[in-house]
Amino acid sequence: MSTVELTKENFDEIVSGNDFVLIDFWAEWCGPCKQFGPVFERSSETHGDLVFAKVNTEKEPELAAAFDIRSIPTLMIVRQNIAVFAQPGALPEAALEDVIGQARVLDMDEVRASVAEAQAQQAQQGQQGQAGNGEQA
């Protein structure tokens, strides 16, 4: 399967409509991106059951900003609408295959529970911070 170009117009449809999406954030001028591109493409041909997508950060700066991409290439894996992996740098083929293997075996129920717990802790910390703001010394 060849890679899909992600844009702000199709991003939600592609990521929400698929259980497992690998996203390569890249730019035309980036040397390491050009090295990683063929590795990413070969992997897409090996894993026909997964969606491989590319975001050109020059054409889609809003997407790059939304994901706080500060270095390219950056590989992100989204499973069931949850980013489970994000790492800058051009991965060698063996490392990419290892990351895909690890992402495949994740227990998404555990991941969702962990995300929910982290969100609850953030909400609780936010409430504690607001309670302290109204007090007088």
Residues in a beta bridge with 74 = 25, 88
Active site residues: 30, 33
Burial of 128 (0-12, 13-18, 19+ CB in 10 A): exposed
63 neighbors 55 (Cβ within 8 angstroms)? yes
56 neighbors 5 (Cβ within 8 angstroms)? yes
Instruction: Round to whole Å and give the CA distance between 100 and 94.
Output: 10
